[in-house]
Amino acid sequence: MDESLEIRHTHISRQFNAELQTIHTQVLEMGGLVQQQLADALAALLSNDGEIADRVILTDHKVNAMEVAIDETCTHILARRQPAAGDLRMVIAVIKTITDLERIGDEAERVARMAGHKASAQPHHARTYVGVGIEHMGVLVQQMLERALDAFARMDVETALAVAHEDEKVDREYDSIIRQLITYMMEDPRSIPSALDIMWSARALERIGDRSRNICEYVVYFVKGKDIRHVSLDKAKAEVGLLG
């Protein structure tokens, strides 16, 4: 290769690597914002604080704007660089991850809106059934999202698979909450409005667990080139060579 062409190729390669690093960093910044949204939404729900709920709702546009900006950058990279193999998987993983992060933000906003409903309810109903597993489920989901983002930051397949497995705990917690809420509504019809708010909040948290698992699946896709959606954990581990 001509020396000038080699220098130009090296320069372009460095630019491309810098672009990939930039979008990777931006995803983590977006993830941090979404984590704060979720934390605030849960705080509003558990403390019956309408002001915190309003803050979550009003700041959701920041998450949406970050998704649009990162998506546009990825589109430009695809058009200009025409990446292949691992680089292409990286861009695809980023595009998919920011979509799920934006939707996690939407679910956090939904929880905040339910908290707002509760804050404006009558005192008896505003306190009803908040503690029926929702706090524990919220902690599980927060931990799952945090660890999913950590797996993405380090592109750690083992952590990603472990976090994906945690979604089963979230699903069990959700099923338990729904059963208890149905029982309470049958026993005391006055509880129905508050119980429905908690039910919808639990559903939003369950969806956040699902989307956190999605992020972990994208990590496996990028690192191993394997699509592990809709397969069991053992099969996923076998496909990526982690099954003993």
Domains of the chain: total: 1
Q: Is residue 244 part of a domain?
A: no
CATH number of the domain where residue 74 is located: 1.20.58.220
| Choice among 88-97, 117-126, 198-207 with the minimum mean pLDDT | 117-126
Q: Does a structural domain hold residue 243?
A: no
DSSP 83-128: --HHHHHHHHHHHHHHHHHHHHHHHHHHHHHHHHHHHTS-HHHHTT
Q: Please state, for a pLDDT cut of 70, what percent of the chain lies above it.
A: 87
Q: Which domain holds residue 141?
A: 3-238
| 44 part of a folded domain | yes
Confidence of residue 11 (pLDDT cuts 50, 70, 90): very low
